[in-house]
Copies of this chain bind each other. A is one copy, B any other.
Amino acid sequence: MARTYLSPAPLTAAAFAQFGEVIELDPNHLAQDNAVRVMQINEGLTQRYHALASIDSSDEAGRPIISLFHSQAMPMPHRVLELERHPLGSQAFVPLDDAPFYVLVAPAQKTPNTINANDLKLFITNGKQGINFFKNTWHHYQIALGKAGRYIVVDRAGNGENLQLATVQGEVWLKEDLSA
């Protein structure tokens, strides 16, 4: 079977809308999205970019938590064997180091245990953007590019089965191509 290499697209709020939210402090993005409110607070010293992401964690009495991830760079090329999803809650990643990462997602499937190669969408962040996967969005685990990275992660703790896996059909690979 021939290898398929995925090409990354720049992450934008519009392109990512069906999968989750983009967490960024981007005036251009704000101008395009009237739903984002910027508040002047703290006697004028602070701009609050309000509610860029909503945390979804209350199913089955879950609770929202803040964790830190320290991820080594993904060895490349990397074969994409499976994706995961969290049926009980959202999951947000915000980078603490200025470094792009890959965001590999797929829409919800009617047959949830397999994903077709042409349903995969690969995005690359600009180094400052964070993302919040909606509950049930299929996604690959964190893909740090080139160097290790630290991330704030906001997700759910609690009882219940909050992890499902799906196998990717075909020989799908990632390579690191920051010039794409």
Contacts and interface: CB of A to CB of B under 8 A. Distances in A.
A152 B150 contact: no
Overall SS of chain A's interface: strand
Contact of A48 (B57, B69, B72, B96): B69
A52 interface: yes
Given A25-B150, A94-B152, A154-B154, A55 B45 contact: no
Interface string A94-137: 10100000000000000000000000000000001010100000
B55 A66 contact: yes
Contact of A53 (B24, B47, B54, B65): B65
B65 A49 contact: no
Interface residues of A, number: 44
Given A25-B150, A46-B142, A53 B66 contact: yes
Interface in A21-76: 23-25, 41-43, 45-55, 57-58, 63-72, 74
A52 B66 contact: yes
Given A53-B66, A55-B65, A141-B41, A72 B94 contact: no
Contact of A55 (B23, B41, B55, B142): B55
A55 B46 contact: no
Contacts of A47: 69-71
B142 A42 contact: yes
